[in-house]
Amino acid sequence: MTNRVFALKVREKCRELRKRQTKAESLLWQELRSRKLGGLKFTRQHPLFVSDGRGLRYYIADLYCYEKRLVVELDGAIHERTRERDRDRDELICQLNLRVMRINNVEIENDIKKVLERLQDA
């Protein structure tokens, strides 16, 4: 598979994920879309590509802000079982000179204003 075909398949997967967002993703997205937070542009289900010794790999960030080079990951219950994989992804993201902020879904549902303040400060 060529890199172009690979990238197109990943972007299609991103579109599918946008259609199936969680409650927390939906709540936070409503507060971030259309540059509502400090004029910053966020995208959701944003593909990040990296080439390493094993070839072209990808990671889909829940939210991404290019201006701040910030990846925002929303962690639900499943992330209790995937901590090691999450750490590996965070390392991959840092290799791209990006920062990672992890936010628990419960935080968003309980106090979205506090989450928005954290994002603003990032």
d(CA 34, CA 32): 7
Tell me how far the alpha carbon of residue 5 is from its chain's centroid. 22
Q: What is the pTM of this model?
A: 0.87
Segments making up each domain of the chain, as ranges: 3-121
pLDDT band at 83 (very low <50, low <70, confident <90, very high): confident
Segment 8-51, tens digit of pLDDT: 999 999 999 999 999 999 999 999 999 999 999 999 999 998 87
pLDDT for residue 95 is more than 90: no
What is residue 81's predicted lDDT score, i.e. its pLDDT? 62
- Whose CA is closest to 45, among 86, 12, 78? 12
| Level-2 CATH architecture, domain 3-121 | 3-Layer(aba) Sandwich (3.40)
